[in-house]
Structure 1
Amino acid sequence: MSRYKTGHKQPRFRYSVLARCVAWANISVQVLFPLAVTFTPV
């Protein structure tokens, strides 16, 4: 969403950012889901 890099549109950079977001999502799910299950009173 940042516009200061419109001149350099590199698909590789975009893919790396997308892969980083996916990795963060996987890590957050793997970390937060067990925590939520543990701290949720059933």
Structure 2
Amino acid sequence: MSVEFIGMIQQRRISETHLPQGPAIDTDYVRAFAQAHEAAGFNRIR
């Protein structure tokens, strides 16, 4: 039996404690987030 790890991603740093700033899509943030998931062994992100 195989296991598939699926992470999560959003288009910019935003949460209850981080108000939205900058462009609607922060490409540097998306790149860093995706690379962190890849380095951690996730199969894909959604």
Pair in the same fold by TM > 0.5: no
Bin the TM-score by the shorter chain: 0.3 to 0.5
Structure (1 or 2) with the greater strand fraction: 2
Structure (1 or 2) with the greater helix fraction: 1
